[in-house]
């Protein structure tokens, strides 16, 4: 069974420090992992568990099938894997899980983890299909969009764009996106597609603005245009501090320990927060998680799986907190009738996307019925009043609003308890 090992590094405010050693064994689709913290790391006064559920801060040697949650979060999926697959195809091979995790540049990786083959510091792993040095200048938004189009269309990439493949992306999701510096700040870019009939970037921008108006912390977002007006949505990276330090990051999938990102419920996330998160801010974060669930119902964001909720480690408070909201995209009903369903469980009626269902398990969020009803009533009123205007302000064409009204179907009429 092929075995690969690497050292795991964590950015602890002033720089990377070695945390421990990760060993991965893969035989076809079967993967197992082993990890142990280093003795010197465990002796550090500022040491933290990189995965509080699976890897508590002890000298134990941990083993699991697949990958530990924190490493899965640091590894690409969807679009990021597609990029690396294309790069390896040119050499007649396919990346292993170890290669997916370790070949990425440290600069672009999500969160604060990094990897290296020795103790000289984090460096990308360089299998035969990944050049040790990547020639070419950094890509701007225009070139990234052209490269993304070429990859999506399985076209031959220009030589100067091949770095886009090897650079990869550990940012989650299946749609084309990349990390970049823009006007001196770190962003995640989401690319529109050629001849798209549905202005997803503008609709997501409007939803993020509306969520913020409902008291939800969101990643700062803006729309830019290139290539004859093509939309690119920029979302500021919340895993980077203003001074450039990297913040440890975990998805809700890792915090809850569910085996698949489409499993579980908001109640599961809330209970895991009560176990692992900051007790001083817990009530505020749980109330915010409740707001996010309600907002996803109000705008029919059915892509609310466990990897679209995340947590950041606060070095100041030495504990985990709910990250800003991201990837909130309304989905029109089109051919569906009746109430839709979210991906995560909502309340006593499972995933049913209704406000009464959201209220049914409000105690999971440490809310009384009266408090929960107040939140729902206030949010519904705001969304009902402003959803159309915020979409118009974001540049959503007027002819798209009737279809978009289906996404905001719950908020399209006054709320009755």
CATH of the domain at 199: 1.10.1070
Main-chain dihedrals φ then ψ at residue 397, nearest 5 degrees: -60, 145
Q: Can you tell me the distance from the alpha carbon of 77 to that of 36, in angstroms, rounded to the nearest whole number?
A: 25
pLDDT tens for 127-175 read 988 866 554 445 677 777 776 766 666 666 565 555 554 555 555 555 6
User: Does one domain contain both 200 and 243?
Assistant: yes
Number of domains in the chain: 2
Tell me: the pLDDT tens digits for 8-50? 999 998 899 999 999 999 998 899 999 999 999 999 999 999 9
Tell whether 251 and 280 lie within a shared domain. Answer: yes
Neighbouring CB atoms inside 10 A of 54's CB total: 18
Domain termination residue (choose one: 117, 152, 173): 173
pTM: 0.91
What is the domain extent for residue 410?
183-417
- Residue 356 belongs to a domain: yes
- Is 369 in the same domain as 401? yes
Q: Would you say residue 178 lies in a domain?
A: no
The verdict on 158 and 190 lying in the same domain is no
Neighbours of 90 (CB within 10 A): 11
157/41 same-domain check: yes
Residues 281, 392, single domain; the answer is: yes
pLDDT in tens, the chain (417 residues): 689 999 999 999 889 999 999 999 999 889 999 999 999 999 999 999 999 999 999 999 999 999 999 999 999 887 678 778 878 888 899 999 999 999 987 777 899 999 999 999 999 999 988 866 554 445 677 777 776 766 666 666 565 555 554 555 555 555 677 788 888 888 988 887 765 778 999 999 999 999 999 999 998 999 998 867 789 899 999 999 988 899 999 999 999 999 999 999 999 999 999 999 999 999 999 999 999 999 999 999 999 999 999 999 999 999 999 999 999 999 987 655 667 899 999 999 999 999 999 999 999 999 999 999 999 999 999 999 999 999 999 999 999 999 899 899 877 666 666
Q: Are residues 209 and 73 in the same domain?
A: no
* 166 shares a domain with 202: no
Same domain, 363 and 307: yes
Q: Which residues contact 208 (CB under 8 A, 6 or more apart)?
A: 218, 219, 221, 235, 325, 328
Indicate whether 43 and 167 sit together in one domain. yes
- Furthest C-alpha separation in the chain: 63
**Residue 221 placed within a domain:** yes
Per DSSP (E only), the strands in 94-144 are: 113-116
Q: Are 105 and 199 members of one domain?
A: no
- Both 159 and 223 in a single domain? no
Q: Is residue 318 part of a domain?
A: yes
């Amino acid at each position: 069974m092929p075995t690969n090992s690497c050292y795991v590094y964590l950015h602890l405010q002033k720089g990377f420090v070695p945390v421990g050693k990760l060993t991965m064994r893969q035989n076809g689709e079967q993967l197992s992992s082993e990890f142990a913290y280093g003795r010197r790391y465990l002796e550090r006064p500022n040491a933290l568990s990189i995965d509080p559920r699976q890897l508590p801060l002890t000298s134990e040697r941990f083993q699991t099938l697949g990958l530990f949650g924190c490493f899965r979060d640091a590894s690409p999926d969807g679009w990021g894997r597609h990029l690396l697959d294309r790069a390896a195809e040119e050499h007649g091979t396919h990346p292993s899980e170890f290669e997916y995790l370790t070949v990425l540049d440290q600069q672009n990786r999500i969160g604060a983890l990094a990897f290296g083959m020795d103790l000289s510091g984090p460096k990308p792993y360089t299998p035969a299909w990944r050049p040790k040095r990547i020639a070419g200048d950094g890509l701007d938004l225009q070139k990234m969009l052209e490269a993304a189009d070429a990859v999506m269309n399985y076209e031959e990439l220009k030589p100067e764009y091949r770095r886009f493949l090897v650079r990869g992306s550990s940012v989650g999701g299946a749609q084309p996106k990349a990390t970049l510096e823009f006007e001196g700040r770190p962003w995640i870019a989401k690319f529109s597609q050629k001849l798209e009939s549905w202005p997803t970037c503008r609709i997501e921008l409007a939803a993020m603005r509306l969520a913020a108006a409902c008291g939800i912390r969101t990643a700062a977002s803006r729309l830019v245009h290139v290539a004859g007006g093509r939309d690119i949505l920029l979302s500021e990276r919340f895993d980077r501090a203003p001074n450039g330090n990297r913040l440890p990051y975990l998805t809700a999938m890792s915090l809850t320990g569910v085996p698949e990102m489409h499993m579980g419920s908001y109640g599961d996330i809330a209970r895991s927060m009560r176990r692992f998160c900051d007790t001083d801010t817990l009530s505020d974060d749980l109330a915010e998680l409740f707001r996010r669930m309600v907002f996803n119902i109000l705008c029919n964001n059915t892509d609310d799986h466990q990897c679209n909720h995340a947590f950041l480690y606060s070095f100041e408070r030495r504990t985990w907190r709910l990250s800003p909201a991201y990837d909130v995209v309304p989905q029109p009903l089109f051919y569906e009738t009746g109430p839709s369903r979210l991906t995560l469980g909502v309340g006593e009626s499972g995933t049913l996307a209704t406000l009464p269902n959201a209220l049914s398990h409000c105690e999971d969020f440490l809310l009384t019925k009266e408090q929960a009803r107040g939140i729902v009533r206030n949010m519904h009123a705001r969304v009902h009043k402003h959803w159309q205007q915020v979409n118009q302000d974001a540049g959503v064409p007027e002819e798209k609003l009737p279809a978009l009204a289906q996404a905001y179907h719950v908020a399209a009429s006054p709320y009755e308890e």
